[in-house]
Amino acid sequence: MQRQPRTIGMATIGQAPRDDVVPAMRQYLPDTLRIAQRGALDGLDAARIAALAPRPGEVGIVTKLLDGSSVLLSHELILPLMQAKVDDLIARESAELIVILCGADWSALRSPRLIVNPGKLFPAVIGALAQGRRLGIIKPDAGQIAKEQERYTGLGIEAVVTAASPYGGAERLELARAAGKELHAAGCELVWMTCVGMDAPMRAIVAEETGVPVILAHALLARIVTELLESEAGVPALA
């Protein structure tokens, strides 16, 4: 009997499909893998999306909409929407693994299937690599710089944090170049591009400007997912 294609679910805080991210991740994933996508903002009108903006004093998380624009969202307010999408991916798509396409911490999500949570995964991997080195970090929004600086300082890492939005069309490349120049001038020895929306052309420019290793979020995420899928037995449900 022919084996059915394996299915994983990818959930974005914005709108699905994420045609700027998922095709780029696909090159690292098994050819036969089926990817089901859901977005926390799917089906919401502009007024409803606006109501999900960060509250005063809250550091927002940024994402791309289907029309190409970007929006800043409250992590707290979209958490129930993300939970609903995770539930739907398992119930309707039979996803054996859930991948969150956002670098915030999604530990509050619950699922009988394993959730790949970049908010815990990324700092652990990058923190281990950056020990004893000056780390350059590129965030998608300048409002996130202070919190990211605090995060890596808490890990005992000397970090220089800047921002370059991947959601500005061709302008993103000039933003990447400016960020690369800044991190090079600061003497960074490793660069971490934190947003899954940042792409290979942006990384190439940052690498050119800094001359040091550059790690791209969606590539790191995809490689870890591939490792999880290596077992023919599949990814087990959580107890």
Q: What is the CATH number of the domain that holds 163?
A: 3.40.50.10660
Residue % of the chain over a pLDDT of 90: 91
Q: Are 11 and 109 in contact (CB under 8 A)?
A: no
Specify whether 101 is located in the same domain as 125.
no
Q: Residue 35 falls within a domain, yes or no?
A: yes
15 has pLDDT over 80: yes
Q: Residue 233 falls within a domain, yes or no?
A: no
Instruction: Render 24-87 in DSSP notation, one character per residue.
Output: HHHTTS-TT-EEEEEETTTT--HHHHHTTSPPTTPPPEEEE-TTS-EEEE-HHHHHHHHHHHHH
What per-residue confidence (pLDDT) applies to 238?
A: 54
Specify whether 107 is located in the same domain as 129.
no
> Residue 170 — pLDDT band, cuts 50, 70, 90?
very high
Residues 6+ apart with CB under 8 A from 164: 138, 140, 172, 175, 176, 178, 179, 198, 202
Q: Are 217 and 198 in contact (CB under 8 A)?
A: yes
Classify the C-alpha dihedral 172-100-221-129 as positive or negative: positive
Specify whether 112 is located in the same domain as 37.
yes
Specify whether 92 is located in the same domain as 210.
no
20 has pLDDT over 70: yes
Taking the mean position of all CA atoms in its chain, how far away is CA 42?
A: 18
Q: Are 74 and 52 in contact (CB under 8 A)?
A: yes
Across the chain, mean pLDDT equals 94
**Beta strands 70-73 and 61-64, pairing class:** antiparallel
Residue 74: closest CA among 46, 104, 101: 104
Specify whether 100 is located in the same domain as 143.
no
For 216-232, write each residue's pLDDT tens digit: 999 999 999 999 987 65
Nearest-Å Rg of the Cα atoms of the chain is 18
Q: Residue 208 falls within a domain, yes or no?
A: yes
Specify whether 32 is located in the same domain as 130.
no
Q: Residue 168 falls within a domain, yes or no?
A: yes
Specify whether 137 is located in the same domain as 34.
no
Domain extent, residue 20, equals 7-119+220-228
Specify whether 19 is located in the same domain as 34.
yes
Specify whether 94 is located in the same domain as 24.
yes
Q: Residue 238 falls within a domain, yes or no?
A: no
Specify whether 45 is located in the same domain as 106.
yes
Q: What is the DSSP letter of 187?
A: T
Say how many domains are in the chain: 2
Specify whether 48 is located in the same domain as 67.
yes
For 179-202, write each residue's pLDDT tens digit: 999 999 999 999 999 999 999 999
Specify whether 63 is located in the same domain as 129.
no
